[in-house]
Amino acid sequence: MPDSMGPNPGPVPGDAPVIAGAAVDEPTGGPVDGEARSMFRLGLEVFVQNRLAVVGAGVIVFFLLFCFVGPLIYHTDQVHTNLMLSNGAPGGAHPFGTDASGYDELGRLMYGGQASLEVGLAAAVLASVVGTLYGAIAGYLGGWVDSVMMRLVDGGFAIPPLFLLLVLSAIFHPNRWEMIVIIAALSWLGAARLVRGEALSLRVREYVQAVRVMGGSSMRAVLKHVAPNAIGTVVVFASFAVADAILLLAFLGYLGLGLQPPQTDWGGMLSDAINYINSGYWWLLYPPGIAIILVAISFNFLGDALRDAFEVRLRGR
Amino acid sequence: MSVGLHSVQEPEPEMVLEVEDLYTEIYLRRRVVHAVDGVSLSIRAGETLGIVGESGCGKSMTAMSIMQLLPPGGHITGGSVRLGGVDLLSLPESEMRKRRGSDIGMIFQDPLTSLNPTMTIGAQIAEAVHLHRDVSRAKAMDRAVEVLDMVGIAQARKRIEDYPHQFSGGMRQRVVIAIALACEPRLLIADEPTTALDVTIQAQILDLIERLRRELGMAVMLVTHDLGVIAGHADRVSVVYAGRVVENAGTDDLFARPQHRYTQALFNAMPERAGDSGESLLNIPGLPPDLSLPQTGCRFAARCQFAQSDCRASYPPLEEVAGSRSPGHRFACFHPVGKTAPIELVRTRFAERNNVEPVTLLQVEHLEKDFPITHGVLQRKIGAVSAVADVSFGVSRGRTFGLVGESGCGKTTTGRLLCGLDLPTNGVVRVEGADVARWKGKEGRRRRRSVQFMFQDSYASLDPRMRIGSILREPLEIQGIGNRRSQEKTVRELLGSVGLPYGARERYAHELSGGQRQRVGLARALALEPSLIVADEPVSALDVSVQAQILNLMRELQNTRDVTYVLISHDLGVVRYLSDTIGVMYLGKLVEIGPADDVYLHPAHPYTHGLIEAIPGVDPSRERQAVPVLGELPSAANPPSGCRFRTRCPFAQEICALEEPVLEPTGTAGHRVACHFPLKTGGPSPIRYRRT
Amino acid sequence: MIGFLIRRVLQAIVVLFVVSVITFILLHMLPGGEARAVLGVKATPVQIAAFNHTNGLDKSLPVQYVEWLGQVLQGHLGYSYHLNQTVASLIAEKLPKTIVLNAIALIISVGLAIPIGIRQAVKRNKAFDYAATGLSFIFYSSPIFFLALVLVLWFSLDLGWLPSEAPQSGSVVGILSQPTELVLPVLTLVLAQIALFSRYMRSSFMDGLVQDYVRTAKAKGASDLRVQYLHILRNSLIPMATLIGLSLPGILGGALIVEQVFNYPGMGLLFWQEAQVNDYPVLLGVTLIGGAATVVGNLIADVLYGVLDPRVRY
C-alpha cells in the first residue's frame, strides 16, 4: 500500500489518529505494522501456517501431475489385455507389477486416477454450484417456498446416499458424465443446506441492512455483500465434497457398478484386487487404496485449513 | 457507607488481602503481553476496594491472578499475593483449589453465560458447599436455599430445582453471587458484576453486594471500568493504567482531589460531569499502549497533555500526597494535578444554538409496532409482542432528540421504524412531511438518503470484506452521486471531518479500533448529507475516553452540518450530554418527554426518577435512596393493564391498573408526563439529597 | 418437552412423506417401468400393457402414488420376483441383524470417541492430540471397504487370528453366540465411525473448555477433572447427539459395505445382491426403510437432545 499512512489531514482536537496501533483497545491487540492487511492476506497467512494444508495441497498437485502428465512420460498399454503378463510381481519393466489382465499397474494407477480425479472434481463443482443456487434461492425467498425447498433437502438427506447411489447406477449403468451427475445429485444437498443457513444469517447482518438505509436494492445487497461473504462457506464445502465424491466413486467401482473395462478408476482397481486377496497379490491392493486415501485426506486437510482461513474475520474482534 | 472512616480509634480490622509487586505475563503465539506490571494493593475485612481502569488495562488480569485462574498462556512471574497472611503463590494447586470458593469468592461480568445451562441452580450452589465442607447432600441443599434466600430470590426452596434459563439476567447474577457466598468467603472479587445488566437492575445488584459485605464482614474487590459504580460502592479506589496502579486513595478523596493526570482525564471524559454546561467533554486522545511492547517512563505520557521529558525518561514512583487529609492517598505522577501550576484546560465551548423559531423535521404520530408470536408447525399467530405502543413526538431541525430506556423498552424498534428498516403496524413517521413507510421503489430509495442510521455495533455494520474507502463510497454509488473522482473527494472530506487520516481508506474494519470504526460509521451516515441521523447506542460499546471522543465529534458535526439526531441510548448521562429533548420509554410507551435538563433535574415520572437514581453517581458524597424501581421488566407480550409501569412502581394505586395515563403537561413548557401521580416539580428536587 | 417432541414428530412425518415421494419417483424412473423389471427385458408390449393394467400402472401418477402409499402403510412393500418372497418378510428377516451389528459398533465407537475426544481437547496440540487427529483423518478418508480388506488381509489371512467371514447364523441369537466372527466387521465400522465422532467430540469439548461457566466452576474450587466430567461433558454431548442422528445415513451406507465384504446376512448384503440382478422392489423397499430408519434415528437424537438440554423442555 503506497501511501496508506499518508499525511495527516489535521486531527480533530485531542484525538491523535492511531490507525497503526489499531485494535489495541482489545486486551490482546494486534501487532503494530503500517501495512493494510486484507482478509485474503490474513487468510493466506493462516492457511500457510497450517502445515497439513500445505502438505495436502502438495499431494494434490503431485497426483494431478502423476495422473495427467505421468502417462506422457511413462507409456503403457491400457487398452489391450495381455494374459501373458497376468499378475506379475513388481520389478523390472513393471515397477508396480501387472494386474490380472496384464495391464501395467503403475500405468493403470495413472489411468484410473484420471477418472477418479476428473469425476471427483467435476462432481464437487457441479454439486457446489447447484447446491449454492438452490440454497441461496431458498434462503433469499424465505417463507413457505423456503420451507418446501428445505423439506425436500431433508428428505434427500434421510435416504442413505450409498443406497441411492446403488439404485441410480443400477438403473442407468452410467458412463463417466452420468457418473458425475449422479454423484453430484447426492452431494448437492449439503451445499444447499449450508448456503441457505449462511444466507439467512447474512441477510440480517447489520452491514446488509445498512444497504437498505442507503437506499440500495435487495439485488445490490445480495451481490455486493451476501454473496462475497458466503463464498467462503461454498469453497470449504467444495473442498470436502471432492474427497467425498472420490470416495463415492470408489464405492461404485468396488461394487462393480463403476466404469466399464477397459476403463477404470481407483475403486475399480480395488475391486479387481479382491479376487486375488487370497493369492497374496498385494501390489494390486495397496497402490490404489493408498492413492484414494492420500487424495481424500489431502482434500479434507485443505477444507479444514480453508475453514480456519475464512474464519479469520472473526479474529479481528 | 464506609465502615469506620469516622469512627473513634477502633482497632483496625484485619488485613485480608495483600498483593505486592505482582507481575503477570500472557504468552501469545508471537509475543508476550505484560498484563499486570507490578501491582500492589491491599484490602481489610469489611472494606471495598474499587479497581478502575479502561478495558485492557490489566484490572481483570489482576483479579484472575489473585484467583490463579489465568487464561491459557498466562503466568504470574513475580510478586506475592497474601490472603490472611498466607502467600497464595507458594501454595500447590491442590491447596489453592481449597481456597477458591471457600476463602475467595468471585462473580463475573456476564451472568447469562456464567452458569452451567445443564445443571439446576441448586446443584450449582450446593456444589460449592460440597467442595469445601464435609456435609450431606441434603445439608448442602439446605445451605443453597439459605444463600439463595439471602441474595433475594423469592421462594428459594422451590427455585433450586430450576435451570439458569428460567431466570432473568439480574436473577442469574444473584445466583452467581449466591455461589460465591455459599462458603462465606473472606474476600469477594466482583469483576464488572453489573456491566451486562440494565441500569435499574445494576443498582439492585450493587446494593445487594454492599448489604452482604456489611452482614458478612467480607473484604470486597470491585473491578469496573465505570467510575460511577466506584463512587457509590467503594471505600478506597486503585486506578489502574497499562498494568500498573497509578493512583490509590479513599473514594471521597479521589473524587474530590484526583492527583494523577489519568484519573483527572477519566473524570473529565464523563458526560455526567459536562452536565448542562454546553462545554465539550475533555477526551483522552489516542489509545492505551500495546502491553507487549517494552515501556519506558510513564505509560500515560503519550496521551497526557502535561507530559514533559522526565515523564518519558523514567517511571514516576508511587508517592503519598503531601499533607493529605486522608492518609494513604498515593499516586505515580511527576506533574500531578495539585503540584503543577494550573494550566488552563482548553474546553471548547460549543456555539450557542440559534434561537430562531425551529422548524419541525421529524414528526412521529401514534407509532405502533407489534411482532407476532407464532406457535406450532403451522406458525399460527397466538399473540403479539407490543414493542412500540402509541408513541408520538416531534423533532426540530438541527436539534437532538434523546430516546432513553432499558433493554426491551422498544427504543431500538422505534429507531428502525424512523428510518424505514421496519414498517409500523400503525401510525406514521414523517420526515420533512413525507411518510417514511411509503419510500418504496426507485423514487423511494432516492428519498431515503434524507434519513441515515448509525448502528450500535460498528464491527457488525461494516462489511468485513470491504475497505473503508469502498464502504464510504457505497452510499454515493447507490444514490448515483457524482463520478468516481468526485466520490473519492467526498470520501477524503468525510474521513477528514471524522478525524481519520486519508490513509484509512485502504484499511479493513477489523484493522481499526472500536472508536475508529464508530467514526467510520458516522462518516458513512453523513455521506449522503442526510437531514436526520438515527444513532442507536453509538457509544455503548466504547471505553469512557473513546466515548467522549465520539460524543464530541457528533456534537461538533451537528453544529457544522446542521444535522438532526435521534440518539437512542440506555445511558441517561450520554443522552443528556447531546440532547435538547429527552423522551423516556418504558415497555413500548413514551412515559415522559421534555427539555433535556428539565427531565434530568426534575423528573416527573417515577420511572425516570428511578433511572436517574439508579445511575451510580459521579459524586460519591451524594446519599442514595433505596432503589425505587422494583423487580424486573414484565413481558411485552402481555403488558400490565393501565399504566405499564405500575408493577414496578412504589406509588402505584388502584387507578393505575384500571386507567392508562396519557401524556399531560407538567412543570416547564414542553415537559409532559404520563402518570397518575407525577412527582412534584419546582423548588429543590425532592430526590437530590446531599450528605451533611 | 412434549410440545418440542410433537413438533419433531410432525416434522419427521413430513420428511418421511418426502422420502416416500422420492422412492416412488425412482420406481417410475426405471427403464420400462416396474413391468419390465418384473417381466424381464424380453417382455412384449402386450404383456407389459396387461401387467400395467392388472397392477393399476396405467392410472395417473398421483392416483398410483396414493394407492402405493396405501399399500406401503399397510406394510406391503412389494414382492421380489427374484427371491419369490414379499419384500416385507425379507426385511423382517434381515433388519434385526443389521440393527444388531450397527448397534454394537455404534455403542463401542461412541463409548471410545468421547474419552478420546475429551483427552484431545484437554491436551490440545500435544502428542496424543496429533496422533489421534492424524489417525482420524486417515480413517475418515479411507474407503470403508479398503479398511475392511486390509483388516482381513492382516488379521485373517496373514496372522490367522480372526475369521474373515461374519457369522452366518439365521437368528440374532446365533449371531451373538459367535463373537470372534463379529470382531472384524465391528472393528471396521468402529474405526470408520470413531474417526468422525472423536473429531467432533474434540471440537465440541474445546468449545466447552472456554465457556464462562467453566470459570465459575473453577472459582468454586472444583478440580479440573470435576469441571471436565461434571460440567463440560454434558454440555458437549448435546451437539454430539445431533451429529450421531445426522450421520445415520452414512452409518447405514458403511454397514452396507461391511456386510458385503464380510458376507454378513443383513439388509446391506441383501441390497447389494439384489442390485446385481436389478430386483427393484427389494431395492426400493430397503431404500424406503433406510430413509425411515434415519428419520426415526434423528427423532431419537432429538429426544436425547431434550434430555440433555433443559432449555428445550418447555
pLDDT at res. B350: 56
Chain A: list its partners (3+ Cβ pairs within 8 Å). B, C
Are C257 and A251 in contact (CB < 8 Å)? yes
Least confident of A89-103, B30-44, B60-74, B612-626: B612-626
What integer best gives the mean pLDDT of chain B? 83
A93 and B CB contact within 8 Å:
no
Residues of chain A contacting residue B450, judged by C-beta atoms under 8 Å apart: none
Residue C232 lies in a domain: yes
Residues of chain B with C-beta less than 8 angstroms from the C-beta of C235: 116-118
B114 vs C213, C231, C238: nearest CB:
C213
Question: What is the distance in angstroms between the CA of the first residue and the CA of the last residue of chain B?
Answer: 14
Residues of B in contact with C222 (CB under 8 A): 97, 101, 127, 131
Mean pLDDT, residues C17-45? 73
Half-sphere exposure of A105 (CA within 13 A, CB side): 29
Task: Mark which of C44, C71, C87 sits at the end of a domain.
Answer: C87
Bridge partners, B76 (sequence order)? B24
**B neighbours by CB contacts (3+ pairs under 8 Å):** A, C
How confident is the model at residue B352, as a pLDDT?
55
Whether B484 shows a pLDDT value over 60: the answer reads: yes
- For residue B224, what are the β-bridge partners? B52
Residue C250 domain flag: yes
Nearest residue of A to residue C271, measured between CA atoms: A163
Provide mean pLDDT across the span B620-638: 66
- pLDDT reported for residue C31: 62
Question: Worst-scoring range by mean pLDDT, A122-136, B319-333, C16-30?
Answer: B319-333
**To the nearest whole angstrom, how far is the Cα of C211 from the nearest Cα of chain B?**
7
> Which CATH architecture does the domain made up of B395-421+442-450+530-616+638-679 adopt?
3-Layer(aba) Sandwich (3.40)
State the pLDDT at residue B10.
Answer: 61
Q: What value does the mean pLDDT of chain C take?
A: 83
Closest CA to C246 of C301, C305, C189, C207: C301
Does the beta carbon of B100 lie under 8 angstroms from any beta carbon of chain C?
A: yes
Provide the pLDDT for residue C111.
Answer: 93
Q: Do C17 and C132 fall within a single domain?
A: no
Which of B69, B96, B114, B116 best probes binding to C when mutated, by most C CB atoms within 10 angstroms?
Answer: B116
What does the pLDDT read at residue B3?
A: 45
Sequence-distant (≥ 6) Cβ neighbours of residue B320 within 8 angstroms = B327, B328, B329, B330
Max mean pLDDT among B264-278, C85-99, C161-175 falls in: C85-99
Distance of CA B547 to the CA centre of its chain: 11
How much is the average pLDDT of B327-355? 63
Mark B623-641 as b/e (b = at least 16 C-beta within 10 Å): ebeebbbeebbbebeebbe
Q: DSSP character for C41?
A: T
Chain A partners within 8 Å of B516 (Cβ): 18-19, 22
Identity at B81, one-letter amino acid code: V
Q: Where are the domains of chain B?
A: 111-184, 395-421+442-450+530-616+638-679, 458-513
Point out the residue among B449, B504, B515 whose CB comes nearest to the CB of A215. Answer: B449
How far is residue B353 from each of residues B272, B534, B555, B624, C218, measured CA to CA in Å? 21, 20, 12, 35, 56
pLDDT at B333: 85
- Chain B nearest-CA distance from C182, in A, is 38
Residue C106 grid coordinates: 455404534
* Structure-block grid coordinates of residue C121: 481437547
The tens digit of pLDDT for each residue in C205-243 reads: 888 888 889 989 999 988 888 998 889 998 888 888 888
Chain C residues whose CB is inside 8 A of the A152 CB are 18
Confidence (pLDDT) at B9: 55
Looking at residue B190, what is its pLDDT? 92
Per-residue pLDDT at B368 exceeds 80: yes
Same domain for C83 and C99, yes or no, is no
What pLDDT does B373 receive?
A: 76
Whether the predicted pLDDT of B543 surpasses 70: yes
Residues of A with CB under 8 A from a CB of C: 151-152, 154-164, 166-168, 170-171, 243, 247, 250-251, 254-257, 267, 270, 273-274, 277-278, 282, 285, 289, 292-293, 296-297, 300-301
Residues in chain A: 317
Q: How far away is chain C from the Cα of B184, in angstroms, using its nearest Cα? A: 12
pLDDT category of residue B621 using cuts at 50, 70 and 90: low
Determine the residue of chain C that is closest to B66 in CA distance.
C219
Residues B257-304 pLDDT 10s:
888 888 888 888 877 766 555 566 767 777 777 777 777 888 888 888
Nearest to residue B212, comparing CAs of B134, B107, B115, B127? B107
**A27/B55 touch (CB, cutoff 8 Å), yes or no:** yes
Which chain C residues contact residue A278 at CB under 8 A? Answer: 157
Mean pLDDT of B86-100: 90
**Measured distance CA(B573)–CA(B671) in Å, rounded:** 19
Region C279-292 average pLDDT: 84
B285–A14: do the CB atoms touch at under 8 Å?
A: yes
Name A23's Cβ contacts closer than 8 Å, sequence gap at least 6.
Answer: A29, A30, A316, B510, B511, B512, B513
Q: Which residue of A has its CA nearest to B54?
A: A25
**pTM (2 d.p.):** 0.80
Least confident of B100-109, B616-625, C153-162: B616-625
Q: Quick one: C69 and C93 in the same domain?
A: no
Share of chain B above pLDDT 90, in %: 20
Residues B373-398: tens digit of each pLDDT: 766 555 566 777 888 888 999 999 88
**Segment 210-229 of chain A within 8 Å of chain B by CB:** 210-217, 220, 224-225, 228-229
Of C7, C213, C309, the CB nearest to B113: C213
pLDDT for the residue numbered B393: 92
pLDDT value of position B51: 93
In chain A, residues 23-42 whose CB comes closer than 8 Å to chain B = 23-32, 36-39
- Give the CATH number, domain containing residue C96: 1.10.3720.10
The pLDDT of residue B239 is 92
> What DSSP string describes B576-593?
HHH-SEEEEEETTEEEEE
Q: What's the complex ipTM?
A: 0.80
Q: What is the Cα–Cα distance from B224 to B51, expressed in whole angstroms?
A: 6
The grid coordinates listed for A40 are: 485474503
Three-class SS of residue B453?
Answer: strand
Residues of chain C with Cβ-Cβ distance to A297 below 8 Å are: 137-138, 140-141
Per-residue burial over B507-523, b = 16 or more CB atoms within 10 Å of its CB, e = otherwise: bbbbbbbbbbbbbbbbb
Subunits in contact with chain C (3 or more CB pairs closer than 8 Å): A, B
* Number of domains, chain C: 2
**Contacts with B67 (C-beta within 8 Å, 6 or more apart), sequence order:** B100, B104, B106, B189, C219
CB contact under 8 A, A255 and C260: yes
Which of C38, C59, C87 represents a domain boundary (last residue)?
A: C87
Q: How far apart are CA B284 and CA B133, in angstroms?
A: 49
Q: Of the ranges B316-325, B447-456, C293-302, which one carries the lowest mean pLDDT score?
A: B316-325
Q: Do B510 and A313 touch (CB under 8 A)?
A: yes
User: Given a cut of 80, is residue C179 above it in pLDDT?
Assistant: no
C152 contacts on A by Cβ (under 8 Å): 277
Whether the per-residue pLDDT at C22 is higher than 90: the answer is no
Collect all residues of chain C within an 8 Å Cβ-Cβ radius of residue B159.
none
Nearest to A1 among B453, B475, B506 (CB): B506
How high is the pLDDT of residue A140? 76
Cβ–Cβ below 8 Å for B105 and C238: no
Interface contact flag, C291 A300, Cβ < 8 Å: no
Q: How far apart are the C-alpha atoms of B665 and B5, rounded to whole Å? A: 46
Q: Give residue A12's pLDDT.
A: 30
Question: Which of B346, B421, B507 minimises the CB distance to A213?
Answer: B421
Same domain, C260 and C215: yes
Query: Which residue of A52, A60, A149, A157 to mutate against C (max C Cβ within 10 Å)?
Result: A157
- Nearest-CB residue to C222 (from B113, B131, B165): B131
Per the structure, the complete domain to which residue C32 belongs is given by: 1-87
Mutate to test the interface with A, among C22, C23, C137, C188 (most CBs of A within 10 A): C137
Which residue in the set C11, C230, C311 is minimally distant from B165, CB to CB? Answer: C311
Beta-carbon pairs below 8 A across chains A and B: 187
Contacts of B55 by beta carbon, 8 Å cutoff, 6+ apart? A25, A26, A27, B225, B543
For chain A, the 3-state helix, strand and coil shares in percent, each to the nearest 5, are 70, 0, 30
Residue B679: is its pLDDT beyond 90?
Answer: no
Does the structure show a pLDDT above 70 at B217?
yes
Quick check: B527 and B472 in contact, CB under 8 A?
yes
Contact B376 C7 (CB under 8 A): yes
Instruction: With residue B414 as reference, give the H or E element that holds it.
Output: helix B411-418
| Integer Cα distance of C145 and C258 in angstroms | 7
| pLDDT (0 to 100) of residue A18 | 31
Q: How close, in Å, is residue B671 to chain A by CA atoms?
A: 32
Residues of chain A with pLDDT under 70: 1-43, 46-49, 79, 82-85, 87-88, 102, 311-317
Nearest-5° angle of CA B489, CA B492, CA B495?
150
pLDDT band at B402 (very low <50, low <70, confident <90, very high): very high
pLDDT of residue B491: 92
**C93 and C15 in a common domain:** no
B335-347 burial string, b = 16+ CB within 10 Å, else e?
bbbeeeeeeeeee
Reduce the DSSP state of residue B216 to 3 states and report it: helix
Report yes or no: B379 at the C interface, CB cutoff 8 Å. Answer: no
CB contacts under 8 A, C 162-191 vs A, are none
Q: Is the pLDDT of residue C74 over 70?
A: yes
Q: How far is B305 from chain A (nearest CA, A)?
A: 9
Looking at the structure, tell me whether residues C93 and C184 fall in a common domain: yes
The two beta strands, B564-569 and B532-536, are parallel
Mark which of C87, C121, C138 sits at the end of a domain.
C87
Closest CA of chain C from B131, distance in Å? 7
Is the minimum CB–CB distance between A207 and chain B shorter than 8 Å? Answer: yes
Within this chain, do residues C83 and C112 fall inside the same structural domain, yes or no? no
Region B482-497: mean pLDDT is 90
> Shortest CB distance from B127 goes to which of C220, C235, C309?
C220
Residue B481 to residues B446, B476, B528, B549: CA-CA distances in angstroms?
11, 5, 9, 30
- Based on the number of CB atoms within 10 Å of its own CB, is B92 exposed (0-12), middle (13-18) or buried (19 or more)? exposed
Query: Do β-strands B104-107 and B319-320 pair in parallel, antiparallel, or remain unpaired?
Result: unpaired
CA distance B54 to B37: 16
Residue C314 lies in a domain: no
> Over pLDDT 70: what percentage of chain B?
88
Domain shared by C299 and C237, yes or no: yes
Residue B494 has pLDDT above 60, yes or no: yes
Both C58 and C184 in a single domain? no
Summarised one tens digit per residue, pLDDT across range B180-195 is 988 889 999 999 888 8
Report chain B's C-alpha Rg in angstroms.
Answer: 26
Q: Which amino acid is at B556?
A: E
CA–CA dist B488, B494 (Å, integer): 10
